[in-house]
Amino acid sequence: MRLYRGLKEPYRPEKAASTAGQRRAGTDFTDCPLSALRYAHARRGAVLVVDVAPDTLKLTQELWLGMPAKRFMAWGKFDTFIAAVLPAKELRALIRVKGVASASDEYKAQVLRRRIQELLDDAGTGRGSPVSRAACLQDRR
């Protein structure tokens, strides 16, 4: 299952590791890249892409009123499941082009999913650590 998280600042693994080990701490994710991108509205924002295999990380589906996307809560450390950390400004540029900007939210989400999959395929997601893959994706600009 691929999940997304919008961050208002660059991803810092040391900060996530300190809060993820807590017993009651959970981290919000969504199944929609557009929803994550909207949350990452800051200038240095980023979108965290996580690939979670079934029964490897405790996930619960949470209530999210007024949103068509699903909201998930990941309980515990998720660092090993990070597939990429993508700059939000590059993803925003994809949905601001002519023909996409006026399209529906579903279409924008499809455009983002397709581009994220292309970036992951280009980076060779089967090799290296999640941090090196994330750095590789950011350096490809």
In this predicted model, what pLDDT tens digit does every residue of 34-77 receive, in sequence order?
A: 999 998 988 899 999 988 887 777 877 777 777 778 888 788 78
Q: Which two tokens stand for residue 41?
A: 């509205």
Number of C-beta neighbours around residue 51 at 10 A: 15
Contacts of 36 (CB under 8 A, 6+ apart): 4, 5, 6, 29, 30, 47, 48
Averaged pLDDT for residues 111-137: 68
pTM for the model stands at 0.74
Give per-residue burial for 14-30: e unless 16+ CB within 10 Å, then b: eebeeebeeeeebbebb
Range scoring the smallest mean pLDDT among 4-13, 93-102, 109-118, 132-141: 132-141
Of residues 19, 104, 33, 113, the one with CA closest to residue 69: 33
Cα angle 30, 35, 39; round to 5: 105
